[in-house]
Structure 1
C-alpha cells in the first residue's frame, strides 16, 4: 500500500463501513421516511469513500481532487447524521467528520 495514502485509505474504508451500517440501521427505525435524507447521504458517502480509497490505492492522478469532493460528501453526511439521536447516526457523524479532516489533509 502506498504509505503516502495509507492513513486516508484506512479512514475511507472505516467511514464506508460506518455509513453502510448507519443506512442499514436507519432502515430499521420506526419512521423510515424521516430518515430518508440520512440514508441517501450514508449511501453516497459510502460510495464516495470506496471510490476515494480505490483511487488512492492505485495512485491515480485524480485521487487528491476526488478526496476533496469526498471530504465534502462526508461533511454533509456528518451534518445530516448529527441531526438524529440514534447512536448509529451519532457514531457515523463523528467518523464522517474525522474522515473529512483526514481526506482534506491528504488532498492538500
Structure 2
C-alpha cells in the first residue's frame, strides 16, 4: 500500500495549488468587475476543493488516489485556462500552481 512518502511531491503540489486557488478566488472578489471574474472564482473554489481532497486521500494511502488525481488534473487544467486569461497577479500565481499540480497529478494517474 502506498502512503504519504510515496505521494509527497503530488501532495505538496496539491496543497500549494489549493492555497493559491483560495487566494485567487478571494482576490477576484476585490476586482472592480466581480461579475467578470465569476467563472474564475467558481473554478478556483472547485479546484481548491479537489486539490485538498486529493492531498487528503493520498496521505491516507487511498486505493482511489490515481482516480482522484486524474480528476484533479482535469480541474487544474480548467482553472489554469481560466486564470491565464486574466492579468491579475493572483491569477498568474494560481495558473502557475494549477499547471504544476496538473503535471504532478498526471504522474500519479
TM-score (ref. length: structure 1): 0.96
Question: Which aligned pairs between 1:35-74 and structure 2 lie closer than 5 A?
Answer: 35-74=37-76
Q: Over the residues paired in the alignment, what is the CA RMSD in angstroms?
A: 0.8
Unmatched segments (≥5 aa) in structure 1: none
1:5 aligns with: 7
SS in 2 for 1:60: coil
Aligned with residue 97 of structure 1, among 96, 99, 104: 99
Unmatched segments (≥5 aa) in structure 2: none
**For residues 52-103 of structure 1, what are the alpha-carbon distances to aligned partners after superposition, in whole Å with 9 as ceiling and x for unaligned?**
0011010111111010000000000000000001111011111101110011
- Tell me, in whole angstroms, the C-alpha distance in 2 between the residues paired with 1:95 and 1:2: 20
Q: Deviating runs (4+, > 6 A) in structure 1? A: none
Count of aligned pairs between the two proteins: 107
